[in-house]
């Protein structure tokens, strides 16, 4: 085949692949729960196996990559220059398409396990939104860019202070983008108009206690519910107006993990100073602490990693690396197994498989189900502190030094497309 014709064919195939791929537009993907409907997702990989490409990353950050239409976006911080950056990479080969310096300011104080670029950005395929904290002014910023890299607007929802640093991943919903501002002061959740930055609604959060949970939106009990844990409670709101549906007190003060659901039950895990896992029936109104918490367990909860759900079960991996399978309806433990030494990333799932990245660079692939079955143990020469993204049959793994695009053998050889 002539070189120019070959290039045209490859471009057409890649375009078809991008258009058919399920985007991963924000924290934990298109459904906000870590699940992917993609097929042909790789089970095994290593530095010399099923890596389509691997590119070095500037700076330091724990935010997850997001993927849409042949572009991957992620944030990082150049600590020497005190610059917070937004990067746009080609999903074909990892080539940097553009970068923008979102913010220049001194580095905020933080927990040693946090970073100065921990908030996952969000996109609708036309725009990409990102959030950072300005220091020492303690002011949060939401900034919007076109997918080509032009700044469109920037707005501050207000002051935000936390002794452990900043992490507030953005949630896209309809024509809005939503930010959680839980803190030890006047706390809020704010919805901005995605196109203009105008404020659409604002929630006054109770209890004034720092937490770091991205809100997620699910169809529950016949309506849209924006749910999150944090600030000494678990709460549900109408994402169109900010009006509260219901609230559960506690079960502790501070939270990091976002919620998931299956079989009509929400699962919440956290937090600090005490650890819990609870199951909540989401069809209540008002304060439902005494009526809608249907089970409550304390064995091997997670603080940072969010849970994942599949069929009849919830799966939780503790920060210390113990994975547990629980019955969604009862909270009964089905199995528990030690995976890695320490886990910060949240698991993802595809094709009935669960992917658990451990900090030391090993991803454990486990079959979803009532019987523990380890399918693969995949090691990379990098730390894995960020949660993965899945799109186009590929897994995007952000390491401390590199961004990896993991693909099944045929995809890795061709540089794109989906395996048949």
Architecture of domain 1-205+388-420: Beta Barrel (2.40)
Bridge partners (DSSP) listed for residue 287? 247
Residue 325 main-chain phi, psi, to 5 deg: -110, 125
β-pairing, 374-379 with 389-391?
unpaired
For 159-162, the CB contacts below 8 A with 24+ separation are 159/185, 159/186, 160/133, 161/185, 162/210, 162/212
327 burial (CB, 10 Å; 0-12 / 13-18 / 19+) is middle
Q: What is the pLDDT of residue 3?
A: 45
Quick one: residue 288, left, alpha or beta (phi over 0 = left, psi -120 to 50 = alpha)?
A: alpha
* Residue 77 and residue 59 in contact, taking contact as beta carbons nearer than 8 Å: yes
CA distance 126 to 141: 20
Q: Is pLDDT at 4 greater than 50 in this prediction? A: no
Q: Is pLDDT at 370 greater than 60 in this prediction? A: yes
Helix, strand and coil in the chain, % to nearest 5:
5, 45, 50
In this structure, what token pair is assigned to residue 136?
């020492």
Q: What is the pLDDT of residue 162?
A: 82
Measuring CA to CA, how many Å separate 267 from each of 40, 247, 252, 294, 388?
29, 14, 15, 10, 21
Where in the chain is CATH 2.40.128.630? 1-205+388-420, 216-343
CA distance 35 to 314: 12
Range with the poorest average pLDDT among 133-137, 237-241, 288-292 = 133-137
Q: What is the pLDDT of residue 209?
A: 85
Q: Is pLDDT at 8 greater than 70 in this prediction? A: no
Q: Tell me the pLDDT tens digit for each residue of 339-364.
A: 999 999 999 999 999 999 999 999 99
Q: Is pLDDT at 13 greater than 90 in this prediction? A: no
Host H or E run for residue 30: none
58-86 burial, b if ≥16 CB within 10 A, otherwise e? ebbbbbbbbbbebbbbbbbbbeeeebbbb
Question: Which residues are within 8 A (CB) of 111 and not within 5 positions of it... i.e. 6 or more apart?
Answer: 163, 164, 165
Q: What is the pLDDT of residue 271?
A: 87
Q: What is the pLDDT of residue 184?
A: 87
CA distance 33 to 360: 24
- Mean pLDDT, the chain, rounded, equals 93
State mean pLDDT over 221-235.
Answer: 96
Whose structure tokens read 């990067």?
A: 87
Which of the 8 DSSP states describes residue 270? E
Q: What is the pLDDT of residue 211?
A: 86
CA torsion sign for 290, 242, 230, 128 is positive
Q: What is the pLDDT of residue 420?
A: 28
Q: Tell me the pLDDT tens digit for each residue of 70-106.
A: 999 999 999 999 999 999 999 999 999 999 999 999 9
In this structure, what token pair is assigned to residue 344?
């910060």
CA distance 273 to 408: 42
Q: What is the pLDDT of residue 412?
A: 60
CA distance 269 to 254: 11
- The alpha carbon torsion through 357, 359, 360, 365 (nearest 10 deg) reads -10
Which CATH number applies to 216-343? Answer: 2.40.128.630
Q: What is the pLDDT of residue 10?
A: 41
Whose structure tokens read 């537009």?
A: 25
Percentage of the chain beyond pLDDT 90 is 88
Kindly report the pTM of this predicted structure: 0.93
CA distance 162 to 336: 34
Q: What is the pLDDT of residue 240?
A: 98
Residue 206 main-chain phi, psi, to 5 deg: -75, 165
Q: Tell me the pLDDT tens digit for each residue of 188-201.
A: 999 999 999 999 99
Q: Is pLDDT at 167 greater than 50 in this prediction? A: yes
Q: Is pLDDT at 226 greater than 80 in this prediction? A: yes
Q: What is the pLDDT of residue 415?
A: 52
228 alpha carbon, distance to own chain's centre? 13
251-260 burial, b if ≥16 CB within 10 A, otherwise e? bbbbbbbbbb
In this structure, what token pair is assigned to residue 107?
């580095």
């Amino acid at each position: 085949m002539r070189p120019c014709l070959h290039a045209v064919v490859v471009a057409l195939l890649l375009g078809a692949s991008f258009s058919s791929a399920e985007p991963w537009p924000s924290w934990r993907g298109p459904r906000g729960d870590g699940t992917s409907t993609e097929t042909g997702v790789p089970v095994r990989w290593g530095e010399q196996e099923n890596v389509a490409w691997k590119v070095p990353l500037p700076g330091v950050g724990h935010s997850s990559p997001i993927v849409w239409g042949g572009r991957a976006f992620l944030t990082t911080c150049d600590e020497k220059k005190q610059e917070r950056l937004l990067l746009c990479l080609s999903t074909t080969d990892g080539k940097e398409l553009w970068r923008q310096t979102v913010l220049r300011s001194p580095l905020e104080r933080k927990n040693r396990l946090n970073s100065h670029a921990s908030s996952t950005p969000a996109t609708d395929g036309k725009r990409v939104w990102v959030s950072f904290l300005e220091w020492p002014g303690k002011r949060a910023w939401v900034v919007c860019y076109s997918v080509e890299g032009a700044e469109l607007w920037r707005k501050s929802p207000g002051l935000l202070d936390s002794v452990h640093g900043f992490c507030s991943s953005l949630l896209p919903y309809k024509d809005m983008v939503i930010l959680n501002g839980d803190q030890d002061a006047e706390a809020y959740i704010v919805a901005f108009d995605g196109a203009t930055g105008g404020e659409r609604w604002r929630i006054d959060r109770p209890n004034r206690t720092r937490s770091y949970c991205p809100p997620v939106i699910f169809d529950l009990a016949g309506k849209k519910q924006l749910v999150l844990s944090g600030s000494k409670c678990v709460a549900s709101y109408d994402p169109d107006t900010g009006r509260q549906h219901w609230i559960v007190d506690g079960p502790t003060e501070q939270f990091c993990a976002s919620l998931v659901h299956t079989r009509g039950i929400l699962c919440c895990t956290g937090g600090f100073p005490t650890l819990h896992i609870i199951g909540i029936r989401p069809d209540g109104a008002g304060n439902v602490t005494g009526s809608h918490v249907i089970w409550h367990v304390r064995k091997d909860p997670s603080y940072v990693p969010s849970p994942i759900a599949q069929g009849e079960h919830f799966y939780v991996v503790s920060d210390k690396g113990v994975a547990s399978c629980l019955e969604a309806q009862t909270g009964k433990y089905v199995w528990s197994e030690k995976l890695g030494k320490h886990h910060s990333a949240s698991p993802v799932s595809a094709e009935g498989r669960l992917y658990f990245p451990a900090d030391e660079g090993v991803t454990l692939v486990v079959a979803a189900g009532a019987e523990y079955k380890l399918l693969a143990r995949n090691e990379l020469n990098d730390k894995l502190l960020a949660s993965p993204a899945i799109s186009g049959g590929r897994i995007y793994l952000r390491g401390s030094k590199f961004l990896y695009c993991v693909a099944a053998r045929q995809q890795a050889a061709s540089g794109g497309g989906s395996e048949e």
